[in-house]
Amino acid sequence: MAAEQSFDAYRLSEEHDAIREAVREVCAAKVAPHAAEADETGEFPKASYDALRAADFHAPHIPVEYGGAGADALATAIVIEEVARACASSSLIPAVNKLGTMPLLLAGSDELKRRYLTPVASGEAMFSYCLSEPEAGSDAAAMTTRAVRDGDHWLLNGVKRWITNAGVSEFYTVFASTDPTARSRGISAFVVEKSDPGVSFGAPEKKLGIKGSPTREVYLDNVRIPADRMIGDEGTGFATAMKTLDHTRVTIAAQAVGIAQGALDYAKGYVAERKQFGKAVAEFQGVQFMLADMGMKLEAARQLTYAAAGRSERGDADLTYFGAAAKCFASDAAMEITTDAVQLLGGYGYTRDYPVERMMRDAKITQIYEGTNQVQRIVMARQLLKD
């Protein structure tokens, strides 16, 4: 699946187009049919996972040397976009696999990568990312989870909150303070396994959207892990966490674009068929203006997301700015587009018999996780002022 590194914001390579077509085909047949059920039941969409795994779309970013598909950052964004177009909850399978494994790709030893990336590539395991805590959300450096050296092991204690796919994932990148006096420079990263003694999970959160992707607390009670499970050097965890988010905010932008595309697609079909005052609703100029604005915002978000994906693949110096900008712009656009889609369906849009109300609820989280859009604006402003 390793696509050629062509990141023209206006024209994708043939291979990237082929990846989109393949994902769309899988999602139409085996992911979209489970989207409403996952939302209603709040259960992890196992059938969707199996379909993505069978097609190698569950963790496409894993390099070939670890058994993965070797998709570049743009191809991975396209995969996430297309899955989100069908089911936002399912799109968190490839997205969070990338989020959880990115610290290893950035800072892990080759032995650690081989041990943990290989089962993710094969679909035997999923990976989650444990940064936030009850009192450390946007201020991640204020975390209180501790890791204390114990011979050739580390002893971890603390609580992590808002952990996507917690309980389903086998592996967790956990950030913990190894030197509380050093604040951010005293934070280190570790791989924790679900089966490690002392690891447990809270009840699933009762959420507005993405209900098919479980969000739970992760409890670490004297979790003793080997020292070789540290990711990178001691004290480099916070820097690794921030570098990870530079890359993975692009995936949230892609998710937002996909949700918005799904809503626009459905709304277009509806207004073309729905008749009022003797003609199709789509023939009214006011409706056409709404559709035009939705399409314009969506394409602007997509191009910014793809431009950010190119910078992610190359590791450009301005990735921090572009990752934040893509995530912020695309998620704001998704919220506007899905809200307009509900409006275009009128009373029907407000019911669960139609998918756009689910898409609107799903879109909201993209403005919040991996850094609220207020935080993204702070990040962008700092980058602009630094320049």
Q: Average pLDDT in the 16-45 region?
A: 98
Residue where one domain finishes, among candidates 178, 213, 235 = 235
- pLDDT tens track for 117-151: 999 999 999 999 999 999 999 999 999 999 999 99
Give me the pLDDT at residue 11, please: 72
Tell me, yes or no, whether 260 and 327 share the same domain: yes
- CA 12, distance to chain mean position in Å, is 22
Average pLDDT (217-221) is: 98
Give the 3-state secondary structure of residue 165: coil
Q: Looking at the structure, do residues 381 and 315 belong to the same domain, yes or no? A: yes
Query: Given a cut of 60, is residue 2 above it in pLDDT?
Result: no
Whether the per-residue pLDDT at 30 is higher than 80: the answer is: yes
Check pLDDT > 80 for residue 6: no
Give the pLDDT mean for 4-29: 82
118 and 33: one domain?
yes
Same domain, 204 and 251: no
Give the separation between CA 94 and CA 194, rounded to whole angstroms: 19
CB 199 within 8 A of CB 176: no
Residue 19, token pair as written in the block: 């990846």
The predicted pLDDT at position 7 comes to 44
Q: Kindly report, residue by residue over 154-168, the tens digit of the pLDDT.
A: 999 999 999 999 999
Give the model's pLDDT for residue 4: 40
In-domain check, residue 370: yes
Examine the pLDDT at 281 and tell me if it is beyond 50.
yes
Where does residue 250 fall: left (phi above 0), alpha (psi -120 to 50 degrees), or beta otherwise? alpha
Catalytic residue among 81, 82, 133, 370: 370
Considering the domain architecture, whether residues 155 and 143 belong to the same structural domain is answered as yes
Supply the range of the domain harboring residue 108.
Answer: 14-122
> Using CA atoms, how far apart are residues 372 and 328, in angstroms rounded to an integer?
8
**Average pLDDT for residues 273-284, to the nearest whole number?**
98
**Is 370 designated active site?**
yes
Per the structure, the count of domains in the chain is 3
Q: What is the pLDDT of residue 3?
A: 43
> Stretch 377-384: mean pLDDT, rounded?
98
pLDDT value of residue 5 = 43
Tokens matching residue 228:
């070789």
Same domain membership, residue 259 and residue 216: no
Q: Return mean pLDDT, the chain.
A: 96
3-class state of residue 84 by DSSP: helix
pLDDT value of position 88 = 98
Per-residue model confidence (pLDDT) at position 251: 98
Per the domain annotation, does 2 fall within a domain?
Answer: no
Query: What is the pLDDT, as a whole number, of residue 8?
Result: 46
**CATH number of the domain within which 357 lies:** 1.20.140.10
Output the pLDDT for position 10.
53
pTM above 0.85, yes or no: yes
Q: What is the mean pLDDT of residues 13-42?
A: 97
312-352 pLDDT tens trace: 999 999 999 999 999 999 999 999 999 999 999 999 999 99
**pLDDT cut 90: percent of the chain above it:** 97
Same domain, 220 and 244: no
250 plus 365 within the same structural domain? yes
Summarize the confidence of residues 353-367 as an average pLDDT.
98
d(CA 140, CA 48): 32
Q: Which residues contact 258 (CB under 8 A, 6 or more apart)?
A: 80, 81, 82, 83, 84, 85, 88, 91
Co-location of 111 and 162 in the same domain: no
**Same domain as 305, residue 283:** yes
Q: Is residue 5 part of a domain?
A: no
Q: Are residues 36 and 118 in the same domain?
A: yes
- For residue 242, give every residue at least 6 positions away whose Cβ sits within 8 Å of its Cβ, in sequence order, or none: none
